[in-house]
Amino acid sequence: MSAFAESGRTAVDLIVHADPVLLHTVGLSLSVSGTATLLAAGLGLALGAWLAVARFPGHRLAALVLNTLLALPSVVVGLVVYLLLSRSGPLGSWGILFTPTAMVVAQTILVLPVVAALTRQLVGDSLRDGGDQLRSMGAGPLSCALLMLVHDRWAVLTVLIAAFGRAIAEVGAVMVVGGNIDGITRVMTTSIALETSKGDLPLAMALGIVLLAVVGVVNIGIGMTQRGHGSALAGVR
C-alpha cells in the first residue's frame, strides 16, 4: 500500500508544483495524440461512412480486414512506420524519424481503423433505421451516410474519444518512431516505460495517475458539452 500512497503523493506534487518537464511531456502527449486523432477522424469518418454504403466485390473482406485492424499492435505500427521513415526506407528523405511528426503518423495509422470500423457500424445501424426515408427524400447513398454522421454526432464524438484514448495510452509506436528523446519526443507513456525500466516504480505510477487525470479532464470537458446538449433537449420536452 505504501508504494501506492507514495505514487499518489508524487502525482499530486508533480501536478501542484507544475513541474516544467511534466508539463512539456503532457503537452507533447496531448498535441501528438490530439493531432493524430483529428487526422484519423478526417480519414476514418469518411472511410467508415463510405464502407457503410458502398457495395463492391470484396466489400465483406474489406470490412473484415478493418475490424481485424482494431487489434493492430502498436509496436507493429511503430516498426512499419520506422521502416518507411528510416534513412534507407522509401520515405527516408522526409527526415522526420525521431520527431513528433513521425509519432503523429504512427498514431494516426494506429487509430484510423478504430474510427473507421466504429463509424461503419454506427452509420450502418442508423441507415437500417432511416436510410430508406432519406433515400426517398432524394439523398444518394453517400449523402445518406454523411447525414447519419450528423444525426449521430454525439456517438461519433464517443468514437473519437475512444480513438484519442487508444492513441494517448499507447507506448509501442511512439517509442519506436520517436525514440523517447528527452525534451523532444518523450511523452507520458514513454516516460512511464522509462521510469519503470529504471526501477522508479512510484514515479512511473505517479506519471500513470497524471496521464489518467489528463485524459479524465479532456473527457469531462466533452461530457459537459454532451450533457449541455442533453439538458437543452430535456428543457423543451
Partner 1 sequence: MNCQPTGASPPLVRLRELSVHFGAVQALRNVSLDVRRGDFIALVGANGSGKTTLLRALHGMLRHQGSRELADASLVQAMVFQRPFVMRLSVVNNLRLALWLARVPRAEWAGRAALALRRVGMAELGERPARALSGGQQQRLALARAWAIQPQILFLDEPTASLDPSAKKDVEALLAGFAADGMTMVMSTHNLGQAKRLARRVVYLDQGEIQRDLPTEAFFGERGSARIDQFLKGEMAWQLES
Binding site for partner 1 (CB under 8 A): 129-130, 132-139, 143, 147, 150-153, 232-233, 236-237
Query: Nearest to residue 51, comparing CAs of 151, 119, 115?
Result: 119
Q: How far is the CB of 132 from partner 1 (least distance, A)?
A: 7
Closer CB to partner 1, 217 or 236, in the complex: 236
**H-state helical runs in 17-152:** 20-53, 59-68, 74-85, 100-136, 141-151
Q: How far is the CB of 40 from partner 1 (least distance, A)?
A: 24
Closer CB to partner 1, 78 or 131, in the complex: 131
Q: How far is the CB of 136 from partner 1 (least distance, A)?
A: 4
Q: How far is the CB of 131 from partner 1 (least distance, A)?
A: 8
Closer CB to partner 1, 216 or 230, in the complex: 230
Burial class (CB in 10 A: 0-12, 13-18, 19+), 213: middle
The answer to whether residues 167 and 37 touch, using CB atoms and an 8 Å cutoff, is yes
Task: Compute the distance between CA of residue 70 and CA of residue 60 in angstroms, rounded to an integer.
Answer: 16
Cell of 115: 474510427
Q: How far is the CB of 233 from partner 1 (least distance, A)?
A: 5
Q: What is the CA radius of gyration of the chain?
A: 21
Q: How far is the CB of 215 from partner 1 (least distance, A)?
A: 27
Query: Nearest to residue 143, comparing CAs of 61, 151, 44?
Result: 151
The answer to whether residues 189 and 29 touch, using CB atoms and an 8 Å cutoff, is yes
What H or E segment, with its residue span, contains residue 219? helix 201-235
Closer CB to partner 1, 67 or 158, in the complex: 158
Work out the end-to-end distance of the chain between its first and last CA atoms, rounded to an integer number of angstroms: 50
Closer CB to partner 1, 49 or 72, in the complex: 49
The answer to whether residues 98 and 178 touch, using CB atoms and an 8 Å cutoff, is yes
Closer CB to partner 1, 83 or 155, in the complex: 155
